[in-house]
């Protein structure tokens, strides 16, 4: 996985600034290492192989959703319906797997249906935002309500269990390695292949200067729709990971994750204005949020103060990461 950026200014002298220009996710990486160390101080067992595997398994869904958000942010857009798409795919695949018997064929069929559903949600967002020229933040907020309504129609009450085959596979081992490692490897391969496509470059070009991209002949509307389609695809993949981790369906499970995904993108060093993004940074940003939540718990923070402390910690980390990124691009 490599950072993607349209910044082609000449490299400036100065070791740290040069490194930050080439690898905008470095501040996020440093923050992740620091948080790992702090988690180790308050709970040495948190750095064990088993604990780190559990952390990755739990936050793989947020990692996928942060990457989903990265592609629309690349073009200067935003998707506030990503979490609702995740919820919709989550309940649909659980219902389909249960209806079709819960066997291997049912699992594969439901996952294919989930991918198509995620793509459809992304295309709807793309048409509404890019083709109809509505404000992305308002339009995707509206579609998030629509997708949530569909999820509640499919599953009015949370708690329907996923087939054992599905969650045991996700939480199990294959050839001696946790299955989540294979998920991470597949994700890395997919991101590598996407980084070699013209679409990623086109998204960044649109985000950098939409008018200039149009004047050079880029199909701006189509490119933005494809960006939203990618977001829908990765939101569906996030739903698979969440379903494997929770082993159940919940029509409201993604409600908080949308804003977490936006925060992860910014924490990773991407610019919300578009034209400067890094999927590696988004991945690290998602891990940062997970490690902050773990640290607050290991510190023994009272339950009534946990949300306050988590929010404050994420805000401080966000400020540090953004300031470092601005200094690199100044």
**3-state SS of the chain: helix, strand, coil percent to 5?**
75, 5, 20
Q: If residue 185 lies in a helix (H) or strand (E), which one and from where to where? A: helix 179-195
Model confidence at 134: pLDDT above 60: yes
Among 24-28, 45-49, 161-165, the range with the most confident prediction by mean pLDDT is 161-165
* Arithmetic mean of pLDDT, 246-255: 90
Per-residue pLDDT at 186? 94
Model confidence at 10: pLDDT above 50: no
Model confidence at 13: pLDDT above 50: no
Asked if residue 309 lies in contact with residue 301, where contact means CB atoms within 8 angstroms, the answer is: yes
Per-residue pLDDT at 15? 59
What does pLDDT average to over the chain?
85
Model confidence at 238: pLDDT above 80: yes
* Arithmetic mean of pLDDT, 174-190: 92
pLDDT tens digits, one per residue of 60-88: 999 999 999 999 999 889 999 999 999 99
Per-residue pLDDT at 322? 63
Beta strand 276-277 with 4-5: parallel, antiparallel or unpaired?
A: antiparallel
Per-residue pLDDT at 174? 86
pLDDT tens digits, one per residue of 183-216: 999 999 999 999 888 998 989 888 888 888 888 8
* Arithmetic mean of pLDDT, 228-232: 95
| DSSP symbol at 134 | -
Higher pLDDT residue, 1 or 230? Answer: 230
Per-residue pLDDT at 11? 42
Higher pLDDT residue, 301 or 214? Answer: 214
pTM for this structure? 0.88
* Arithmetic mean of pLDDT, 6-21: 51
Model confidence at 218: pLDDT above 90: no
Per-residue pLDDT at 34? 87
- Tell me the backbone φ, ψ of residue 163, rounded to 5 degrees: -55, 145
Higher pLDDT residue, 109 or 51? Answer: 109
* Arithmetic mean of pLDDT, 120-126: 96
Distance CA 205, CA 47 (A): 40
Model confidence at 294: pLDDT above 80: yes
* Arithmetic mean of pLDDT, 252-267: 89
Tokens of 194: 């996407």
Tokens of 184: 């991470």
pLDDT tens digits, one per residue of 153-171: 999 988 889 999 999 999 8
The SS3 call for residue 181 is: helix
């Amino acid at each position: 996985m490599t950072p993607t950026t349209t910044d082609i200014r000449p490299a400036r002298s100065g070791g740290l600034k040069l490194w930050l220009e080439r690898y905008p996710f470095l501040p996020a990486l440093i923050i992740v290492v620091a948080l790992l160390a702090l988690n180790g101080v308050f709970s040495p067992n948190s750095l064990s192989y088993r604990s780190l595997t559990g952390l990755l398994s739990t936050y793989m869904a947020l990692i996928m959703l942060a990457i989903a958000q990265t592609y629309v942010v690349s073009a200067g857009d935003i998707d506030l319906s990503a979490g609702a798409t995740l919820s919709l795919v989550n309940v649909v695949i659980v219902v389909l797997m249960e209806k079709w018997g819960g066997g291997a064929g049912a699992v594969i069929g439901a996952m294919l249906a989930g991918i198509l559903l995620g793509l459809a949600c992304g295309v709807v967002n793309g048409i509404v935002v890019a083709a109809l020229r509505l404000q992305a933040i308002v339009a995707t907020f509206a579609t998030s309500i629509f997708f949530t309504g569909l999820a509640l129609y499919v599953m009015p009450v949370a708690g329907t269990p996923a087939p054992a085959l599905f969650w045991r596979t996700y939480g199990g081992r294959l050839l001696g390695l946790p299955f989540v490692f294979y998920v991470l490897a597949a994700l890395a391969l997919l991101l590598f292949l996407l980084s070699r496509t013209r679409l990623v470059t086109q998204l960044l070009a649109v985000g950098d200067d939409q008018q200039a991209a149009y004047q050079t002949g880029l199909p701006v509307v189509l490119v933005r729709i494809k960006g939203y389609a990618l977001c829908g695809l990765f939101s569906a993949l996030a739903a698979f990971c969440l379903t494997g981790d929770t082993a159940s369906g919940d029509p409201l499970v993604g409600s908080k994750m949308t804003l977490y995904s936006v925060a992860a993108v910014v924490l990773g060093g991407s610019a919300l204005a578009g034209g400067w993004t890094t999927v590696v940074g988004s991945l690290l940003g998602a891990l940062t949020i997970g490690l902050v939540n773990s640290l607050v718990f290991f510190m023994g923070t009272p339950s009534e103060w946990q949300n306050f402390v988590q929010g404050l910690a994420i805000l401080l980390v966000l400020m540090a990461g953004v300031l470092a990124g601005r200094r690199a691009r100044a």
